[in-house]
Structure 1
Amino acid sequence: MEKAKTVRLTTAQALVKFLNQQYIDVDGEITPFVEGIFGIFGHGNVLGLGEALYNEPGHLKVYQGHNEQGMTSAAVAYARENLRRKIFAVTASAGPGSANFVTAAGNAYVNNIPVLILPADTFASRQPDPVLQQIEVENSAATTTNDTLKPVSKYWDRIQRPEQLMSALLKAFEVLTNPATTGPVTICLPQDAEGEAYDYPVSFFQKRVYVVKRQQPSQFEVETAVKLIKQSQKPVLLVGGGAKFSDAGTAIEAFSQKFKIPIVETATGKSTVIYDFANNMGGVGILGTSAANKVLAEADLLIGAGSRYTDFTTSSKTGINPEQTKVININLSRMQAIKFDAFPIVADIRDTLQVLTKSAELEQYQSTFTNLQTYKEEWNQERERLAHTNYDDPDFVPEISGHYTKEKLADYAQTLGTHLTQTSALIAMNEHIDPEAIMVAAAGSLPGDVHRIWNPKAKDTYHMEYGYSMMGYEIAASLGVKLAKPNVESYALVGDGSFLMQHSELVTSLQYHKKINVVVFDNSGFHSINNLQMSHGDESFMTEFTTSDQKILNIDYAKVAAGYGAKSYHVNSVEQLLAALDDAKKQDCSTLIDVKVLPKTMTHDYGNAWWRVGDPEVSQNQKVQKSFTDTQEHLKKAFKY
């Protein structure tokens, strides 16, 4: 019997060789699954994985990151923009570098985004212990910093012997390429095992193609869904992130159009269908449009397409009445499909909607909605009003009113040198940039504003991270978007608070000539949280950017970016913003537009939207006492699921 052929490689070399041979088949199109690796190299990975990538990277593109959280966010955005059909791996040295993965891994976990995390680890032999940057846990010598990644990994493993790599990688890629289980995968690489050699079977490095099969709905699932739709008068289709990953936009339009069913959107589902589609009522829930919240209030059937039903979507379980509204959930995840006591369809969203659209039983069906266009036109008129809010008008009242005196707002206007409102700036930008340009946002007041007033003109041009609401995602994600779609402009919409938390990958974009556009909306504070605390009776506390003597900070973010080598602009009017956008489009390098906007000029709630937060039951402040009482009244209206 002929002896199996082997090749002697280190663990790190075998890892790189394996990554080069992983392919994915989606609807018959076969493409490489791993595009490359972001790395920050230190003593734990530079001699092992670094050596392997330097000598034989294969087709893998290697980029130097500048913060582990930032480069992982770029990898997450890259995979999301590719509808989870391509990924980047990330690597860092042992200790604090690997610990920095945790926040971005949590983001990937919540949003079901594949990313391969390769943190260096302490020695498998434990002989040099404790090594540089090693933590020591009294109850287990096996515990290292990388154990913090277990709760935020869909699969986690540690390679203590070179031959363990084979089973670990096979399990890892089954998770990464399976739409029902995908998310962050962590493979820890102890630095001694990383450099140890083994005679690997040549067969381990043959081309592997992972076929993504679209799971079909069963006959029972289809028949029951048809029955529920026929029994309904006013069904509504909720478009979640799963619909986007299923590439279900065309199927959603056909389903909605045939049956006259309005669609409403979650933060991740937005731009699966463009806003100009007649039955698209826009974002729903706490941050929703008046049109979307009105149709949801009337619904007797909600068809959820790939939604997690977060509190922002459901208005903390006050937006969906189980006595009025039945629920169907189409989702690849059984856990998500049963939410809200729904009838679950565990299947692909695109194909399920296509089957329902072609159903002979529904051939004559249409909803009884008669006012969809009225609702939408009312919202369009409100958006037009928001586009022209003007501080200089005598009757100007901030959208988030009642919390700031006119004198305080005037102080901000003078300090920041602006009378520009946030809503007017956002809408002007939305109407001005190329329809194919991709907008990225994540946290603060901007997600609420864009969920309501940013109207995508082309599909898949709205990139929102709101599953984890991760501050600091935006700029790194814009780089990931640019890597995924190099021929379109990528715009990171970021508040000044998020910018200060994380903007390291702006440098990466400049280093590798991957142009991104950063638009900083500076109102000198965490004003979305300031709105929250003041609207619940508290005074402003630790949410404004002020000095110890209560003077408002006025930071020159344009100068910060210019110091890195970016082209930068100062903006305090709509006219200056449009001029900056025009000039930024002409640039070859990354740009930053420092937009000074007034606080309290973001959008407000529409409809019966309500967000449950933890009001204190005991307080000396009468305003806080009233807020607690109001919350208890809302809880009486909240539905229990």
Structure 2
Amino acid sequence: MSTGTITPRPGTRRLTTAQALVAFLARQYTERDGNRRRLIGATWGIFGHGNVAGVGQALLESGSDMPYYQGRSEQAMVHAAVGYARQCARLSAHAVTTSIGPGATNLVTGAALATVNRLPVLLLPGDVFATRPADPVLQQLEIPYAGDVSVNDTLRPVSRYFDRITRPEALVPAALAAMRVLTDPAETGAVTLALPQDVQAEAFDWPEEFFAERVWQVRRPQPDPEALAESVRAIASAGRPLIIAGGGVRHSEAEEALKGLADATGIPVASTQAGKGTLRHDHPADVGGIGHTGTATADDLARSADLVIGVGTRYSDFTTASATLFTRPGVRFVNLNITGFDAHKLAALPLVADARAGLEALTTALRGHRVGYGYTAEYSDGKARWERRVDAAYAASDEDVRPTQTQVLGVLDGLVTEDDIVVNAAGSLPGDLHKLWRCRSHDQYHVEYGYSCMGYEIPAAIGVAMAVPGRPVWALVGDGTYLMNPTEIVTAVQENIPIKLVILQNHGYASIGGLSESVGSERFGTAYRYRQPSDSGVRGTGDYTGGPLPVDLGANAASLGMRVMPARTVRDLREAMAAARAADRPTCVYVETETADTVSGPPPAQAWWDVPVAETATRPSAVKARQEYDRQVAARRRHL
């Protein structure tokens, strides 16, 4: 490596800021339970004038020390990194580098998703010149009252840590702080180091100690003895306790500990979207998803529970049915969570600890305690009734007709093993999956519903497949989501990552269409159809009630390099999915779905969700919807 005419001081290494950062990242590790992993497994990047000569050159210089992946969309690169981090239980992450300007601001949605879901990703956006040799420069945002603000400041509210490296030596404390946050289970999320393009290329004499291997221990904090004892007393005195398993169970790799508590006590376990699969679907205590998208079994138990034990959940409005689900007078909460902020929600008894450590401590302290036989029989019967509803939703009496969306899930359900992973995020599929999907392994269910971000599925599936090569990874995508962000298909093709993409064409935003109808908005603007001309003849005043648009998303996926198999019937679908699962290259199954009927459609929502309805309106649909809204909102309560 050339160092120019300057000889570095003894005990230092002369590198550019970008070279130093890449070398530092390549030597960071995590360790939990004696298992060591590389913290930053790879860097994604799209290069422009804000990073091509800095981080781009440094990645080239690093060779095999830092693997690099070429992305097509800055937002999608973050989604791929998040998928990877979740599959790695947050013990390994990816970095993402972009140019300044639009490249950097395109990171904001992905950063928000990572932070909302408490998943680590390192963002390295280029920034404008720190030395201001010309002012303004290309893509610089000029703020008359603040000379130190750039577009990267949009990343501040969606980052768990943010710093702008305006001098090379400032990288040392900032890089260490960034690693601390990325590896902290209670603090992790998007971490942003904004890198002015001139500082990236500036050389500095870095202390050799900066590049030493560094291991970040991911601890398992134990519960406070007094808090544990109080929680045990509450559980032991409860007649109808219910466990809610959230994403924290997965992040802590506490699935076996949860199973141990359920086996020992017989307490039923319901799951959030992030926690689904922490118990296998066939475990006697698993009662399925909870909340607005949950099962009747879980929601009925929630309404009658006298004690709710939240494990690693942040109690989103879908989980609590917008604060209308836990209705029993005097219901109490025990919250086991590594984050004190979440542990104190709903006026709970807070048990601040690692999920695995807390569950193991509860199991030991509750030895000999078990819920009553009548309670066990009740939820077992409810579980069996719900399974019959799942069977009905999946059933296809005629193999030669176009499938419904739930029948698509039924075909996939009959095909997968515990090796398969299903990725989804938005539309009507998360609700159907949460109610119906039968998880065969703790990591089979990968539904991002903290941010429910359209366009997540394809890049996230790539990230998951990178974390567990050789396992079948399915990206389930509606047409609305597909149109948001299909570009990383090219990355899957380029890297020959054999994701299995299932595109469900239903000609519009099916989920929001149904919601629109329920709140009196009559599916306005939710269908992908031609505009029906208005009587006035003025463009833009008609409704989108004409014929479906002649869109062939399968042809689009094929044009991006995927092998595409159209499936026009249930029989075609079965054959196409089997072929896709066996494929060793990126493969797409393209199916146009039929509108669900009363036999094979999904069960309706088993609990409410608060979407405010117009308080005054002239259209009858909105007036009726408001009456229902007023009825439902009256059941809301604050747990104090």
TM-score relative to the length of structure 2: 0.94
Taking a change above 3 Å as real, the CA distance of residues 215 and 562 of structure 1, as seen in their structure-2 partners, is same
Aligned partner of 1:365 in structure 2 is 370
Taking a change above 3 Å as real, the CA distance of residues 562 and 47 of structure 1, as seen in their structure-2 partners, is same
Matched, 1:545 2:528: yes
Aligned residue type for 1:363: G
Aligned partner of 2:273 in structure 1 is 267
Name the SS for the 1:56 alignment partner.
Answer: helix
Matched, 1:578 2:579: no
Shift of 1:4: 5.9
Shift of 1:504: 1.1
Aligned partner of 1:561 in structure 2 is 557
Aligned partner of 2:587 in structure 1 is 591
Aligned partner of 2:161 in structure 1 is 155
Aligned partner of 2:174 in structure 1 is 168
Shift of 1:29: 1.2
Matched, 1:496 2:474: no
Q: Distance in 2 between matches of 1:460 and 1:21?
A: 28
For residue 612 of structure 2, the aligned residue among 611, 614, 638 is 614
Aligned partner of 2:422 in structure 1 is 439
Shift of 1:58: 4.4
Task: Show structure 1 runs of 4+ deviating over 6 A.
Answer: none
Contact 2:401/2:570 (<8 A) preserved:
no
Name the SS for the 2:65 alignment partner.
Answer: coil
Deviations 1:488-518 (A, max 9, x none): 0110001100000011111101011111111
Name the SS for the 1:264 alignment partner.
Answer: strand
Name the SS for the 2:634 alignment partner.
Answer: helix
1:190-205 matches, cutoff 5 A? 190-205=196-211
Aligned partner of 2:261 in structure 1 is 255
Aligned residue type for 1:341: A
Deviations 1:172-215 (A, max 9, x none): 11000110111110000100001001111111111111111100
For residue 212 of structure 2, the aligned residue among 206, 215, 230 is 206
Aligned partner of 1:39 in structure 2 is 45
1:390-539 matches, cutoff 5 A? 419-539=402-522
Q: How many residues align?
A: 613
Q: Which moved more, 1:316-325 or 1:80-89?
A: 316-325
Taking a change above 3 Å as real, the CA distance of residues 476 and 418 of structure 1, as seen in their structure-2 partners, is farther
Q: Distance in 2 between matches of 1:434 and 1:230?
A: 37
Contact 2:335/2:348 (<8 A) preserved:
yes
Q: Distance in 2 between matches of 1:433 and 1:280?
A: 20
Name the SS for the 2:109 alignment partner.
Answer: helix
Deviations 1:426-481 (A, max 9, x none): 11212212331100000000000010111111221110100001000000100001
Aligned partner of 1:407 in structure 2 is none
Could you say what the CA RMSD is over the residues aligned between the two structures, in angstroms? 1.6
Shift of 1:418: 6.2
Name the SS for the 2:126 alignment partner.
Answer: strand
Deviations 1:306-340 (A, max 9, x none): 11111111111110136242100010111111111
Q: Distance in 1 between matches of 2:292 and 2:63?
A: 47
Aligned partner of 1:637 in structure 2 is 635
Contact 2:304/2:328 (<8 A) preserved:
no
Contact 2:321/2:609 (<8 A) preserved:
yes
Shift of 1:111: 0.4
Taking a change above 3 Å as real, the CA distance of residues 588 and 419 of structure 1, as seen in their structure-2 partners, is closer
Q: Distance in 2 between matches of 1:314 and 1:563?
A: 43
Contact 1:293/1:606 (<8 A) preserved:
no
Contact 1:17/1:58 (<8 A) preserved:
no
Contact 1:418/1:597 (<8 A) preserved:
no
Q: Which moved more, 1:561-570 or 1:56-65?
A: 56-65
Q: Distance in 2 between matches of 1:304 and 1:593?
A: 38
Contact 2:288/2:295 (<8 A) preserved:
yes
The percentage of counterpart residues that share the same residue type is 39
Name the SS for the 1:568 alignment partner.
Answer: strand
Name the SS for the 1:363 alignment partner.
Answer: coil
Q: Which moved more, 1:164-173 or 1:432-441?
A: 432-441
Q: Distance in 2 between matches of 1:505 and 1:264?
A: 34
Taking a change above 3 Å as real, the CA distance of residues 4 and 298 of structure 1, as seen in their structure-2 partners, is farther
Aligned partner of 1:412 in structure 2 is none
Shift of 1:389: 5.7
Shift of 1:598: 2.1
Q: Distance in 2 between matches of 1:40 and 1:264?
A: 41
Taking a change above 3 Å as real, the CA distance of residues 12 and 618 of structure 1, as seen in their structure-2 partners, is same
Q: Distance in 2 between matches of 1:516 and 1:384?
A: 27
For residue 292 of structure 2, the aligned residue among 286, 291, 300 is 286
Q: Distance in 1 between matches of 2:36 and 2:523?
A: 55
Contact 1:285/1:313 (<8 A) preserved:
yes
Q: Distance in 1 between matches of 2:608 and 2:550?
A: 33
1:24-173 matches, cutoff 5 A? 24-173=30-179
Q: Distance in 2 between matches of 1:143 and 1:34?
A: 28
Q: Distance in 2 between matches of 1:131 and 1:461?
A: 48
Segments of structure 1 that go 5 or more residues without pairing to the other structure are 394-416
Matched, 1:387 2:394: yes
Q: Distance in 2 between matches of 1:586 and 1:567?
A: 13
Contact 1:102/1:149 (<8 A) preserved:
yes
Shift of 1:242: 0.4
Contact 2:85/2:92 (<8 A) preserved:
yes
Aligned residue type for 1:627: A
Q: Distance in 2 between matches of 1:364 and 1:604?
A: 35
Q: Which moved more, 1:622-631 or 1:513-522?
A: 622-631
Shift of 1:121: 0.5
Name the SS for the 2:115 alignment partner.
Answer: helix
Shift of 1:600: 4.7
Q: Distance in 2 between matches of 1:528 and 1:209?
A: 45
Aligned partner of 2:238 in structure 1 is 232
Name the SS for the 1:156 alignment partner.
Answer: strand
Contact 1:507/1:564 (<8 A) preserved:
yes
Shift of 1:388: 2.0
Shift of 1:239: 0.5
Deviations 1:404-434 (A, max 9, x none): xxxxxxxxxxxxx963211111112122123
Deviations 1:154-186 (A, max 9, x none): 000001110000010011110001101111100
Aligned residue type for 1:432: L
Q: Which moved more, 1:17-26 or 1:573-582?
A: 573-582
Contact 1:117/1:187 (<8 A) preserved:
yes
Contact 1:322/1:639 (<8 A) preserved:
no
Q: Distance in 1 between matches of 2:235 and 2:39?
A: 39
Q: Distance in 2 between matches of 1:633 and 1:24?
A: 51
Q: Distance in 1 between matches of 2:105 and 2:88?
A: 27
Segments of structure 2 that go 5 or more residues without pairing to the other structure are 1-8, 533-545
Shift of 1:141: 1.7
Q: Distance in 2 between matches of 1:200 and 1:295?
A: 60
Aligned partner of 2:540 in structure 1 is none
Taking a change above 3 Å as real, the CA distance of residues 67 and 442 of structure 1, as seen in their structure-2 partners, is same
Contact 1:99/1:148 (<8 A) preserved:
yes
Q: Distance in 2 between matches of 1:537 and 1:143?
A: 43
Deviations 1:126-166 (A, max 9, x none): 12222222222222121111000000000000011100000
Contact 2:19/2:61 (<8 A) preserved:
no
Matched, 1:301 2:314: no
Aligned partner of 2:384 in structure 1 is 377
